[in-house]
């Protein structure tokens, strides 16, 4: 990449291809984008990943993505889904075959990894206690993610206590 192009991107962000529109928050800039084999676009910013297909883009903030993998030119994303306040579960995976991945796989990996401040699995009761950094905000988002098949009604109090202990030990 030419020096002038790197300087321009440092100040203005990466320019999206014609026809691709996402609603950015104040101070949010595009850091990378890539086309899928179906003509859709994935757009990375410092706060989220956008999937642009038609007129209704969908986005996931980095702290809500539980897992992202890159293999065989495909990006697979497992977003989180809130079950109730403070409790999340894995949502169905999303998968895109990227034609020209550019910096998107590296950007997704770095942003998702960087958002994890604390992750600890407890057995029993079969729960993850997770603290995530929220891009653009101060503080951490502490959530519980129960293992598949765990009876949350009987283990919830124990899981809440484990989260409280983790919060106290973290700070």
Taking the C-alpha atoms of residue 135 and residue 28, their distance in angstroms, rounded to an integer, is: 10
Cis peptide before 159 (omega within 30 of 0): no
**Contacting residues for 117 by C-beta, under 8 A, at least 6 apart:** 131, 132, 133, 140, 170
Nearest to residue 133, comparing CAs of 71, 61, 74? 61
Q: What is the pLDDT of residue 123?
A: 95
Q: What is the pLDDT of residue 74?
A: 98
User: Which residues sit opposite 69 in a β-bridge?
Assistant: 76
pTM, two decimals, is 0.86
User: Which pair of tokens denotes residue 165?
Assistant: 């202990």
> Hey, which bits of 36-99 come out as E strands?
41-45, 48-52, 58-61, 65-71, 74-84, 87-90, 94-97
Q: What is the pLDDT of residue 18?
A: 77
**Contacting residues for 116 by C-beta, under 8 A, at least 6 apart:** 130, 131, 132, 133
Q: What is the pLDDT of residue 20?
A: 85
> Which positions of the chain have pLDDT values less than 70?
1-13
Per-residue pLDDT tens digits for 81-128: 999 999 999 999 999 999 999 999 999 999 999 999 999 999 999 999
**Domains located in the chain, CATH noted:** 3-170 (2.30.29.30)
């Amino acid at each position: 990449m030419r020096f002038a192009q790197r300087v321009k991107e440092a100040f203005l962000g990466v320019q999206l291809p014609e026809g691709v529109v996402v609603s950015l928050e104040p101070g949010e800039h595009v850091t990378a984008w890539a086309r899928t084999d179906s003509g859709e676009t994935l757009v990375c910013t410092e706060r989220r990943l956008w999937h642009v297909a038609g007129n209704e883009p969908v986005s996931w903030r980095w702290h809500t993505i539980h897992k992202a993998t890159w293999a065989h030119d495909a990006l697979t994303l497992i977003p989180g889904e809130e079950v109730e306040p403070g409790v999340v579960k894995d949502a169905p995976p999303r998968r895109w075959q990227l034609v020209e991945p550019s910096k998107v796989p590296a950007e997704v990996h770095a942003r998702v990894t960087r958002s994890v401040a604390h992750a600890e699995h407890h057995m029993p009761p079969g729960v993850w206690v997770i603290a995530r950094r929220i891009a653009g905000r101060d503080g951490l988002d502490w959530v519980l993610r129960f293992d598949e098949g765990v009876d949350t009604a009987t283990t919830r109090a124990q899981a809440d206590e484990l989260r409280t202990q983790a919060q106290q030990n973290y700070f």
